[in-house]
Amino acid sequence: MSADAGRLIEVDRETFDPWRIQPVRHRLADHPLLQLSSLVELGKRLESRGRVRTHTSDVTPGTPFNNAPKLHPHRMSAANTLQQIEQARCWMSLLNVQTDDTYRTLVDHVLDDVKPVVDPVDPGMCYRGGWIFITSPNTVTPFHFDKEHNFILQVSGRKTLYVWDHRDTVAASEESRDRFHACHERDRLKWDESLRERATVFHLEPGQGAYMPSTSPHMVENGDNASITVSFTYYTRATRHDSLLHAAHERLRHWGMAPPAVGQNTLLDFLLHSGFRSAIHARELLRRSLGKRPNTDGAPYAIAS
């Protein structure tokens, strides 16, 4: 990885492929904004805006990801939890940290740093986001996938990250991806212990990380210590194109049709993309004319609900 050894995230410029899972190294483990004392203050600010997600350590790899906070609620405040994370028996995520002025600077710093490597092969970086995960010892992040491309970086503690190829239809069916892109539901994603054999496995220590393409299923198991992990995420022209097609295919399923997988019928995909893109543009024009805020996946930063 010599070509990019001076960057915050070391990515091999010559071999970087936006649709391939790959290891990375980084220089953020000592960053002052990623130390626990700073995260306690960030947790207070984000909690007041409803941007903290948490559950207890009782979750398993097969716990439905979307419902984990309801199934295993953790009721302590963010500040108290973070101050005693070694004993708290919980998983906590500070969401959309780019909505905080201080942390938006960090998100931009990191993604501006990696953009020269990404852009030539995957242009159109947008919808930038940052997510910080603070977890008690021996805690699991359930099996799930996300829409964004993701640089996931270990800051402190150790964890094992399992990632499956975004084209692996055993790990995640085409139907599960269609539904997820259409309405953010992950209920067609099913965990099975046998999936471990199919995964790319990273044993992450501080300074190490991985790059996961959009909708690569993943599951994480903490080591015997508390852990801090940060994800820097974004969409590109290609992820937005892929997402829109999956959402369109879900609509066809809703209408009783059985479309081929995204990418298998070029003409169908072209027609669907053109039609749905036009409909989205019309919706955004309507929102603007009514004085509403834009709601587009082409926004510069992830839109926090």
Nearer to Fe ion, 7 or 246 (CB): 246
Q: Least distance from C-beta 162 to Fe ion, angstroms?
A: 12
Integer distance in angstroms from the first to the last C-alpha of the chain? 38
State the minimum distance, in angstroms, from the CB of residue 212 to Fe ion.
8
Report the residue number, 146 or 269, with the smaller CB distance to Fe ion.
146
Dist. CA 200–CA 230, nearest whole Å: 19
Smallest separation (angstroms) from Fe ion to the CB of 214: 11
Of 31 and 53, which CB lies nearer to Fe ion in the complex structure?
53
**What is the smallest separation between the CB atom of 272 and Fe ion, expressed in angstroms?**
27
- Coil/strand/helix, residue 275: helix
Q: Give the C-alpha separation, 285 to 294, whole Å.
A: 9
Instruction: Write the single-letter amino acid at 175.
Output: E
Helix (H, G, I), strand (E, B) or coil at 55: strand
**Per-residue CA distances from 144 to 63, 177, 271 (Å):** 10, 11, 30
Nearer to Fe ion, 146 or 250 (CB): 146
Cβ nearer to Fe ion, comparing 89 with 186: 186
Where does this chain bind Fe ion (CB under 5 A)?
Answer: 146
Q: Closest approach of Cβ 129 to Fe ion, in Å?
A: 11
CA angle 266, 163, 154 (to 5 degrees): 125
**Smallest distance, Fe ion to C-beta of residue 283, A:** 28
| Residue 62 C-beta: closest distance to Fe ion, Å | 15
State the DSSP code for 144. Answer: E
Closer residue to Fe ion (CB): 19 or 276: 19
CA Rg, the chain, in Å? 19
- Nearest to Fe ion by Cβ — which residue? 146
Q: Report residue 230 as tokens.
A: 């940060």
Least distance in angstroms from the C-beta of 229 to Fe ion: 10
**What DSSP character marks residue 292?**
P
CB–CB of 239/149 below 8 Å? yes
Cβ distance to Fe ion smaller for residue 122 or 146? 146
Cα gap 84→223, rounded to integer Å: 17
For residue 132, give the amino acid letter: I
Strand partners, 149: 234
User: With the CA atoms of 49, 53, 54 and 55 taken in that order, what torsion angle do they form, in degrees rounded to the nearest 10?
Assistant: 130
- Which CB sits closer to Fe ion, 142 or 206? 142
